[in-house]
Amino acid sequence: MDRKKIITENLNQDGVDRRGFLECMAWAGTGAYFVLSGGVLKSFALSGGMPREQMPKGELAFVQISDSHIGFNKEANPDVVGTLRQAIAKVNALPTRPAFALHTGDLSQLSKPDQFDTLEQALKELRTEKIFYVPGEHDVLDDDGKAYRERFAKDSIGDGWYSFDSGGAHFIGLVNVMNLKAGGLGSLGSEQLAWLEKDVQHLKSSTPIVVFAHIPLWSVYPDWGWGTSDSEQALGFLKRFGSVTVLNGHIHQTMKKVEGNVTFHTAMSTAFPQPAPGMGPSPGPMKVPAEKLRSMLGITDVNFIPGRHTLGIIDSSLEDGSM
Amino acid sequence: MKVVLCSFLLEILLVAVVGQVARGQGMAGSSMHLASPGGAQSKTNSQPSRITIKDFSFGPTSTTVPTGTKVTWVNKDEEPHKVVSVDEIFKSTALDTDGEFSFVFSKPGTYKYFCSVHPRMVGTVVVEDSKPNGSMK
């Protein structure tokens, strides 16, 4: 039997260069369609001519939404509930009804009960069976995530991590926004890492793995805290798997990277965009003209074709598509 | 891409002004209490000191004050921040835009702190020994 390709080198050397960033940014706001096949990622802009109906469908379809920041009301987007509703409508109009949704954190702006309420109410409109959450730093501000877990991660372990199986793939929700250390980045912590190692121990290497967490599990831009200090250890436990997909939020823009059998991907926010790495004084909300905002917010939908290690990731902004 | 970032002051979060008598004295996270302005812990007439949180950084990053100074942090970002002592001597709740947090430094020393929401944000308050009348022993 052929051995699956594994990551052999350079897992830590994942600094992204300026050129890479610019390439990635060319996709922002346009919507992009990704297909991973045998470790090679191909991407097409949604405006590039391929009709949505011709995009491959898998045996499992799910969506990712992220960074809803309910409660934010500043100029960058005074109506974050409205844009979340648009994102929900976008999902509901997909040709394939998603099996479930992943929300990759920052549900709220300030971890307030009424903000969690509003989010929960809005997401009731989402046509899917279940929503899986991981917290963002905005959801665990003053109570170490207690209120978040009670509402959104009841059956989780520790600070809110868990795993589940669907469509032959193994999904792992991780928490990297708690117990952060001065001067550091996102952090998983030793307890969660020990759990993760055990969680994947008995899986076959051919099992597709999907990891989702708020802060990127790769070094997008450490100067802005866009990375996770101990993500290398987590990815180390996943090295033997033939297909690993890492879905993150936090940076409010789409970025992708492929390293060996690991595909990293970040989603757009449903609330407001943030600047490209280093393209501004800080990673705060970015103000864009009102008519441009919807093109910089969006959703991600993912189609799995089990057994072929083929994964289709489609980012679409609230603006594009013919729905 | 043209990036324009600026700050708008639309929301005010009132935050309890917190005083703490001495370093290492009964500070276990939640045991904060309201300071009485000009209260017993103010041993000097030192001017209050302000630190502005803007663009995900503390300004000034390092500040030196005499013993007894009340230091106030004010958040001028649209992003919530926290002010947390590395040694857990003081800790604010989340400060929304225009939110403030104060702490009275009654013992000399070097106090490192950071934003526990965005841990790349770090700062230092250096508290120097000072006598009310300027006399030295």
Distance (Å, rounded) from C-alpha A129 to C-alpha A185? 34
Contacts of A285 in chain B (CB under 8 A): 78-79
pLDDT at res. A309: 58
Q: Do B94 and A110 touch (CB under 8 A)?
A: yes
Q: Return all residues near A7 (Cβ < 8 A) that are at least 6 apart.
A: A235, A239, A259, A260, A261, A262
List alpha helices for chain A, DSSP H.
18-25, 80-92, 113-123, 146-152, 190-201, 231-237, 290-293
What pTM was computed for the model? 0.79
Distance (Å, rounded) from C-alpha A320 to C-alpha A316? 6
Residue A225 lies in a domain: yes
Is the pLDDT reported for residue B4 higher than 70? no
| ipTM metric | 0.81
Is the pLDDT reported for residue A265 higher than 70? yes
Closest CA to B24 of B92, B103, B82, B107: B107
Q: pLDDT digits over A186-241, tens only? A: 999 999 999 999 999 999 999 999 999 999 999 999 999 999 999 999 999 999 99
Complete DSSP assignment for A108-174 = BSS--HHHHHHHHHHHTTS-SS-EEE---GGGSTTTTTHHHHHHH-TT-BTTTBEEEEETTEEEEE-
Domain boundaries, given as residue ranges, for chain B:
18-128
Comparing A10-19, A154-163, A286-295, B126-135, the range with the smallest average pLDDT is A10-19
Tokens 């990635």 appear where?
A24
Is the pLDDT reported for residue A21 higher than 90? no
pLDDT at res. A186: 98
CATH number given to B18-128: 2.60.40.420
What confidence tier does B99 reach under pLDDT thresholds 50, 70, 90? very high
Residue A17 lies in a domain: no
**What does the pLDDT average to over B64-81?**
97
Restricting to B residues 35-74, those with a Cβ less than 8 Å away from any Cβ of A are: 55-57
Q: Do B78 and A223 touch (CB under 8 A)?
A: no
Q: Are A133 and A153 in contact (CB under 8 A)?
A: yes
Is the pLDDT reported for residue A99 higher than 70? yes
- Give the type of residue at A146: K
Q: Mapping DSSP to helix (H, G, I), strand (E, B) and coil, where does residue A264 land?
A: strand
Comparing A237-251, B24-38, B39-53, the range with the smallest average pLDDT is B24-38
Q: Which domain holds residue A175?
A: 31-44+56-317
Rg (CA), chain A: 18
Q: What is the DSSP letter of B86?
A: T
Mean pLDDT estimate for chain B: 74
Q: pLDDT digits over A124-156, tens only? A: 999 999 999 999 999 999 999 999 999 999 999
Q: Mapping DSSP to helix (H, G, I), strand (E, B) and coil, where does residue A222 land?
A: helix
Is the pLDDT reported for residue B68 higher than 90? yes
Nearest CA in chain B to A78: B10
Q: Are B111 and B105 in contact (CB under 8 A)?
A: yes
Mutation target vs A (from B2, B4, B5; most A CBs, 10 A cutoff):
B5
Residue A21 lies in a domain: no
Contacts of B1 in chain A (CB under 8 A): 25, 275-276, 279
Q: Which residue has the higher pLDDT, A304 or A309?
A: A304
Residue A127 lies in a domain: yes
Distance (Å, rounded) from C-alpha A84 to C-alpha A68? 7
Distance of CA A19 to the CA centre of its chain: 23
Residue A9 lies in a domain: no
**What does the pLDDT average to over A39-50?**
38
Comparing A3-12, A61-70, A99-108, the range with the smallest average pLDDT is A3-12
**What does the pLDDT average to over A2-18?**
37
Q: Mapping DSSP to helix (H, G, I), strand (E, B) and coil, where does residue A255 land?
A: strand
Residue A8 lies in a domain: no
**What does the pLDDT average to over A300-312?**
70
Report the residue from A73, A138, A284 with minimal CB separation from B56: A284
Tokens 């929300």 appear where?
A103
Helix or strand run (H / E) with residue A94: none
Distance (Å, rounded) from C-alpha A210 to C-alpha A198? 16
Is the pLDDT reported for residue B33 higher than 60? no
Distance (Å, rounded) from C-alpha A60 to C-alpha B49? 58
CATH of residue A109's domain is 3.60.21.10
Residue A239 lies in a domain: yes
Contacts of A21 in chain B (CB under 8 A): none
Whether the CB of B5 is below 8 Å from some CB of chain A: the reply is yes
User: Phi and psi for A247 in degrees, rounded to 5?
Assistant: -110, 125
**What does the pLDDT average to over A77-104?**
93
Number of domains in chain A: 1
| Tokens standing for residue A268 | 């757009």
Q: pLDDT digits over A151-187, tens only? A: 999 999 999 999 999 988 999 999 999 999 999 999 9
Residue A121 lies in a domain: yes
Q: Do A284 and B79 touch (CB under 8 A)?
A: yes
pLDDT at res. A31: 36
Q: Return all residues near A213 (Cβ < 8 A) that are at least 6 apart.
A: A104, A105, A134, A173, A174, A175, A176, A186, A228, A246, A248
- Give the type of residue at A8: T
Closest CA to A33 of A254, A262, A207, A250: A254
